[in-house]
Every structure is written in structure tokens, then in C-alpha cells.
């Protein structure tokens, strides 16, 4: 039997990781982005409602935007400090610009959270727009706080 190898995302130094947008890995023509919203292991976590609501809003707007046909997946990290966005044929500058666009659309959104019904979601009562918007505002501020380099620090 092959020994169990440590997966690539565990080799990132989470002690040095600041909120931002990073390339986590590239598999063929698919780029996995680490949308890091919180500094790891500081006790600063997204609540499940914020993470879930942001997931519904971001997934819907990003799939309806300029990157739409190339979006493979979007979803939260179990550690509650970020999200993964998988894009085919990705260009970093274009992805960053579209991430900012989508955050703006979430902030302008009025009405119900997308997919907020029992038929569409596995826990639809755990959704609220205000939490999604607070997360979007906060992540925009983090993206403005320092240059986005896309690469993890060593």
C-alpha cells in the first residue's frame, strides 16, 4: 500500500497567512483559488450563517457573471476562514476583478438570499442577507488592505 501523502493545502504555512486571494493549486486547466477572508488560528471565524449565506450569494453571482462558464466550483472551507473558487482557464487579474465585481453585487443586493427554500438548500433557515453583506464588505476591505500577489508567503 502507498504511504499516505500530506495534501498540498496542508503544506501552506497557516501561521503567516493573511486574508487575501491566493492560487492554492493548478491542476491542468483548472486553478483553485483560496479566497481567505480571515487570518487563520486567531479565533476570528466566519459564523456558519455568514459562510452559508455568502456561499449562496457569491456562487449565484459568480456563475452569472463574466467567469460564469469557467466556474467549476465555489464553496466554504471547513475551518471557517475562507472559500475555494475553482476556475477553468483562469487569468489572475481577471479573476480578482470579477471577485471584486461579485462582492459589489452582493452589497447591492436586495430581497431574499438566492436559493433560500427547503427545495433548493439543505438548511435554508440558516441564511440571512445581512451576514452575507457584512462578509462581502469585510473581504473587500481585506483585498484593499494590501497588494494581492496570488502567491502564498514561504
In the complex, the residues that contact Zn ion under the rule CB under 5 A are 121
Asked if residues 56 and 127 have their Cβ atoms less than 8 Å apart, the reply is yes
Task: Give the Cα separation of 150 and 138 in Å (integer).
Answer: 19
Helix (H) or strand (E) holding 143: helix 129-145
User: Which CB atom, from 12 or from 121, has the smaller least distance to Zn ion?
Assistant: 121
User: Which CB atom, from 30 or from 121, has the smaller least distance to Zn ion?
Assistant: 121
- Least distance in Å: CB of 125 to Zn ion? 10
User: Which CB atom, from 121 or from 148, has the smaller least distance to Zn ion?
Assistant: 121
Asked if residues 87 and 95 have their Cβ atoms less than 8 Å apart, the reply is yes
Q: What angle do CA 77, 134, 39 make, to 5 degrees?
A: 45
User: Which CB atom, from 21 or from 57, has the smaller least distance to Zn ion?
Assistant: 57
- Least distance in Å: CB of 87 to Zn ion? 21
- Least distance in Å: CB of 38 to Zn ion? 20
- Least distance in Å: CB of 76 to Zn ion? 10
Q: Please measure the distance between the N-terminal and C-terminal CA atoms of the chain and give it in whole angstroms.
A: 32
Asked whether the CA dihedral 137, 104, 129, 113 is positive or negative, the reply is negative
Amino acid at each position: 500500500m502507498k504511504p499516505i501523502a500530506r495534501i498540498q493545502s496542508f503544506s501552506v504555512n497557516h501561521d503567516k497567512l493573511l486574508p487575501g486571494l491566493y492560487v492554492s493549486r493548478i491542476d491542468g486547466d483548472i486553478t483553485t483559488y483560496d479566497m481567505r477572508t480571515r487570518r487563520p488560528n486567531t479565533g476570528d471565524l466566519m459564523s456558519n450563517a455568514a459562510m452559508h449565506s455568502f456561499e449562496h450569494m457569491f456562487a449565484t453571482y459568480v456563475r452569472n457573471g463574466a467567469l460564469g462558464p469557467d466556474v467549476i466550483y465555489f464553496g466554504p472551507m471547513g475551518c471557517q476562514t475562507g472559500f475555494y473558487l475553482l476556475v477553468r482557464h483562469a487569468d489572475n487579474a481577471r479573476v480578482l476583478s470579477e471577485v471584486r465585481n461579485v462582492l459589489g453585487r452582493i452589497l447591492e443586493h436586495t430581497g431574499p438570499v438566492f436559493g433560500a427554500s427547503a427545495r433548493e438548500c439543505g438548511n435554508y433557515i440558516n441564511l440571512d442577507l445581512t451576514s452575507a453583506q457584512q462578509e462581502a464588505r469585510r473581504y473587500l476591505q481585506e483585498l484593499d488592505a494590501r497588494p494581492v500577489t496570488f502567491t502564498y508567503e514561504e
